[in-house]
Amino acid sequence: MISLAGRDILHGWGKYMLTGVGLGLLIGVTLSMAGVYRGMVDDAQALLDNSQADLWVVQKDTLGPYAEPSNLAEDSERPIQAMRGVAQAAGVTYLTMQIAHGDEDVRVMVVGAEMGAPGLPGQPTHLVAGRHIVRGHYEAVADVKSGFAIGDRVKVRRNFYTIVGLTSRMVSSGGDPMLFLSLKDAQAAQFQKDSDAILRQRARIAASPQLNPPGNPAVSQAVNAVQSENNNVNAVLVTLSPNAQPDEVAAAIRRWQRLTVYTRAQMEEILVDKLIANSARQIAMFLVILSIVSAAIVAFIIYTMTIGKIREIAVLKLIGTRDRTIAWMILQQALGLGLIGFVVGKIAASLWAPFFPKYVLLLPADSIRGFFAVMLICTLASVLAIQAALKVDPAEAIGG
């Protein structure tokens, strides 16, 4: 038996292909939306991977340092370092800000990491060019996504920093490229007050009889000194000794240091389930809407194609063609449309993904799921047309 669907498609292949391409672009958008979500999750996981930490110690009762502000004393790391099961502990600061790059602003996450010893958690990894920060001040390592090149000088707050190294895929959970500074420089960038604020602070202290007692200027000088320096960090990143159990070490730190501690699994949950949850729901809504629109378009196209062949279907039924042969013909056409649409959509999504401002991760598993979803949608969409075809009376081929 010849393929009626194949012959019909070949007969009007131009129109059929154009329809498939149109559907494919819609499927491409759908795949890209899924890719944007996957990219967000991957960015979040990259952030955790790149921090090289097993535990995140943050301000008590906060979801810091990525989902909520968190401040704790820099020297919190010392007692943590001394605890059983802890291999390394290092303070880290995070600050998302705009910095100038030529005539444009670049949104970056400024990361302050301890550079005292190589391999401390929080330090930049995946260096693709240049070197690590070796001087105490005014050097920076940037992610290539920022657009900076080695030797560029960037201004962060009041100071200039020279880019000495470039990393790859070191981004925040929002996809912003990271700019690494030494911890001291980053603390200055994050906590240092500007000159006007310092002047107002000094005037306020000088006017206070408690902070500036008559005849004892050393008190106000001491208060000024304390308020002008800041040794806070946003989190202490901890790596564990071999065989140490994350939950046990975390429980010990919570008990003895009265701080909040998150394991890798908990931090993933915070990032994926809390920080990007709204974005994920937004994307899920888009996926549902796009799927419905795709189904409606396929249903409309297949229905229109079928209605355009009512006379032929009546003739086919009159000369003895079985209903299942006609239904199979329509279903094959719908599936063919879905196949063309999927191939075009996959190619389109792969081609335009690099031009998205956010990372678009097209996973093969998502493509396979997408393929089956498209085929299912096309099958469901063909039901209406099949019903219409099966209702065609063979008598319509005979006049009267």
Nearest to another protein of 204, 311 (CB atom)? 311
Nearest to another protein of 252, 335 (CB atom)? 335
Closest-CA residue to 398 (of 285, 272, 314, 309): 314
Give me the least distance between CB of 2 and another protein, in Å please: 6
Residues 6 or more apart whose CB falls under 8 angstroms from that of 223 comprise 205, 211
**C-alpha span between 201 and 199 (Å, rounded):** 5
Give me the least distance between CB of 374 and another protein, in Å please: 25
Give me the least distance between CB of 316 and another protein, in Å please: 7
Residue tagged 């000159």 (tokens): 195
- Which residues form the interface with another protein (CB under 8 A)? 1-2, 4, 7-8, 10-12, 311-312, 315-322, 325, 393-395, 397-400
Q: How far is CA 40 from each of CA 50, 126, 224, 263, rounded to the nearest angstrom? A: 15, 19, 43, 20
**C-alpha span between 127 and 216 (Å, rounded):** 53
Nearest to another protein of 274, 324 (CB atom)? 324
Give me the least distance between CB of 313 and another protein, in Å please: 10
Give me the least distance between CB of 177 and another protein, in Å please: 55
Give me the least distance between CB of 145 and another protein, in Å please: 52
Q: Would you say 238 and 51 are in contact if contact means Cβ atoms under 8 Å apart?
A: no
Nearest to another protein of 11, 84 (CB atom)? 11
Nearest to another protein of 20, 370 (CB atom)? 20
Nearest to another protein of 269, 323 (CB atom)? 323
Give me the least distance between CB of 13 and another protein, in Å please: 10
Nearest to another protein of 198, 397 (CB atom)? 397
Give me the least distance between CB of 400 and another protein, in Å please: 2
Which residues does residue 97 pair with via DSSP β-bridges, in sequence order? Answer: 108
Closest-CA residue to 314 (of 324, 302, 326, 300): 326
Nearest to another protein of 8, 185 (CB atom)? 8
**C-alpha span between 237 and 232 (Å, rounded):** 14
In sign, the C-alpha dihedral spanning 199, 203, 206, 210 is negative
Nearest to another protein of 152, 312 (CB atom)? 312
Give me the least distance between CB of 17 and another protein, in Å please: 15
Give me the least distance between CB of 44 and another protein, in Å please: 52
Nearest to another protein of 2, 117 (CB atom)? 2
